Structure 1
Amino acid sequence: MDLGHVFYCIGMTADFRSRPFDTVRTHVSLLADLLERQRFQSMLYLSSTRVYAGSGRTHEDAPLAVNPGDPSDLYNLSKLAGEAICLHSGKPRCRVARLSNVVGVDPHSHNFHAELIREALSGRITLRSAPSSEKDYILLRDAVGLILRIGLHGEAPVYNVASGINLTHEHWCDTLARVTGCEVGRAPDAREYRFAPIDIVRIREEFGFAPAPVLATVPGLVEEFRKCLDQ
């Protein structure tokens, strides 16, 4: 049976450190079985811009560095192994989309923005990382639109799916404080985490992509979270 156009969205998120076997299984083993045993018209493997951690360059063709001795790099290593088996499987039209931090409505998510919104609605945010920490965020609707276009029409092997704009934790907290009136505090051992801005030249040139401003959606996100949490 021909599976048609396949979007491989299986993966671990914040719990990958406590579930190492599931992380490798979902990012690599299940993918390899699918590539080996099934037929399809195209395959898009959803990876992550987290693979650029520690790298100064974030273009899709840039060489990447990982450290097997770092438990945080288990995620990066497994994603890169998934990318490699996908791109070198010999199957037609296999591509990779490296997703940035996707912002949408999921009140039970452990993602950074979801936890901040829940804390803001409780009246107080306590930052566990430095306010100057920063990374790239992309709205869910932008990400989905790009994923569909890449999966069906992409010409390159790898694409960054990101906004190309870093937001600091302070940006998030200031915006949430204005919208909800919450207080903002900081844990005494808060460390700074910074990621290089993600290169989005490829999606700009091939698809004419222009990211929507993430923080402008915060009032709507807060209202949707409030509704879901009140149910």
Structure 2
Amino acid sequence: MKKNIKYTVFGHTGFLGSNIVKFLKEKNYDVFLPSRNKIKFTKNLNNIIYCIGSDNVLDDPINAIQSNLMMLSKIIINNKFKNFIYISSTRLYLNSKNTNEKDAIKINTSSKNYFYNSLKAVAENFCLSQKNKNIKVIRLSNLYGLNFRKQIYLLPSLIRNSKNNKKINIYINKKSKKNYVNINNVIDIIIKIMNKSKYRLYNVASDKRLTIEKIASSIKKVTNCKIIYSNQKERFDEPKIDITRIKKEFKFKPTNNFDNFIPDIIKKYKL
């Protein structure tokens, strides 16, 4: 029995958070799920995983600032805990050739495309500037797995359109590459990093990238939807993420089973 070990998950209703909670409960851990917008508690929160963070930064910037930065800082300052994991994003490596954790992050303050990255960078800096070495940051790539709901990310949007509209519209070059990692790999490494790690910052991603064409064709095999490609002159490749650190320290090996996993994802997708 492991009831004496407690995890606190902020953002537990989202895709990542709900999968983390499911994993922890299956392992018989005592999991505390804070109410929405509550940031101060009298009890020790022990092992905190912070998954809150709005992607809708341009349409709702106030909520984006609140969820990605303000709540994070207030929770760290106002509560007692043993370990803290902040989930950041490998999107910070936008237009970067070097993606090692030691490499500097580039921010173009004149471009709206960097607003989300700016919030994540400030949040990371706040976490890593704290004297408490048990506050750590994980830069996470795109995820695939069960429990997708109404997220606006690429994969759930494509699945939703393939089922509802029987077609998928692709507005960037089909050879564009994206990095997807299995959520089960991610949860396992999050727990390992929280319990014991050499560093305070880690990239967690796959060692292989998928083309948009591959992603769409995998969905089509299951739903028999139509794929419509437009604006094929614009190609955007996510950078290949350097995961040497977690490979060396934790023997991390991404499963890379995207194509085999897609049928089950679609079958259990909640519209």
TM-score by length of 2: 0.79
The residue type paired with residue 23 of structure 1 is A
More deviation in 164-173 or 23-32? 23-32
Amino acid at match of 1:70: S
Flag the 1:117–1:71 CA change in 2: closer, same or farther, 3 A.
Answer: same
Q: 2-side partners of 1:37 and 1:16: how far apart? A: 26
Q: Which residue of 1 aligns with 2:48?
A: 6
The 8 Å contact of residues 130 and 190 in structure 1, kept in 2 or not, is answered as yes
Q: Structure 1 CA distance, aligned partners of 2:231 and 2:124?
A: 38
Quick check: 25-34 or 45-54, which moved more?
25-34
Matching residue's letter, 1:25: Q
Kindly provide the amino acid, as one letter, of the partner of residue 268 in structure 2. E
Aligned Cα root-mean-square deviation (Å): 1.6
Question: 2:157 maps to which residue?
Answer: 115
Residue matched to 1:70:
111
Q: Which consecutive residues of structure 2, in runs of 5 or more, have no partner in the other structure?
A: 1-42
| 1:217 correspondence with 2:245 | no
CA distance in 2, matches of 1:75, 1:180: 33
Question: Is residue 2:134 matched to residue 1:134?
Answer: no
The question of 1:88 aligning with 2:129 is answered: yes
1:125 is matched with which residue: 164, 168, 175?
168
Match of residue 218 from structure 2:
175
Unmatched tracts of structure 1, length 5 or more: none
How far apart, CA to CA, are the structure 2 residues paired with 1:117 and 1:190?
24
2: CA distance, partners of 1:151 / 1:171: 34
Aligned to 2:228: 185
Structure possessing the higher relative contact order (Cα contacts under 8 Å, 6 or more residues apart): 1
The number of residue pairs the alignment matches comes to 226
* Cα distance in 2 between the residues matched to 1:22 and 1:183: 35
Partner of 1:19: 60
Counterpart pick for 1:207 among 225, 230, 250: 250
Name the structure where helix makes up a greater proportion of residues: 1
Paired residues of 2:45 and 2:81 also in contact (CA < 8 A):
yes
Task: Give the C-alpha shift of residue 189 in structure 1.
Answer: 6.8
1:35 aligns with 2:79: no
What SS class does the counterpart of residue 129 from structure 1 fall into? coil
Contact 2:172-2:231 at 8 Å conserved across structures: no
**Displaced runs of 4+ in structure 1, greater than 4 A?**
none
CA displacement at 1:155 relative to structure 2: 1.9
Cα deviation for residue 168 of structure 1 reads 0.8
Contact 1:41 1:92 in 2 (8 A): no
What is the aligned partner in structure 1 of residue 139 from structure 2?
Answer: 98
Aligned to 2:14: none
